[in-house]
Amino acid sequence: MATDRTRTDPSLQLSVGREQVVIDHRYETASIVNDVLIAVFFTIGSVLFFFDSTQTAGTWLFLLGSLDFLARPVIRLSRRTHLRRLGHRSAPTDRDYDF
């Protein structure tokens, strides 16, 4: 009877998986914030580039947006490293490429 209970009790299956869910949400949030910053940098930089007096500021925002693109793979690599340290050994999924 005890074996039937352990098979249906979802709390027993969430020892590492629950940690992974928390980790995924944190890295997903970081990725979303990063994407928003990229959009803001390029949008404002584009507007500033229309005027001669603000082209330099627009160029700097383009540079910041470009550097922010580098943060995307860093976030993914950090997530994978974090999960690996916790002992998660599954193969990459489609979700791994979202953030």
Residue 97 is predicted with a pLDDT of 52
Q: Is the pLDDT of residue 7 over 50?
A: no
Q: Kindly report, residue by residue over 21-71, the tens digit of the pLDDT.
A: 677 788 888 999 999 999 999 999 999 999 999 999 999 999 999 999 999
For 91, left (φ over 0), alpha (ψ -120 to 50), or beta? Answer: beta
Q: How far is Cα 45 from Cα 39, in angstroms, rounded to an integer?
A: 10
pTM here? 0.66
Q: Per-residue pLDDT for 87 more than 80?
A: no
Q: How far is CA 62 from CA 4, 7, 13, 59, 99, in A?
A: 59, 54, 46, 5, 22
- Could you tell me the pLDDT band of residue 90, with boundaries at 50, 70 and 90? low
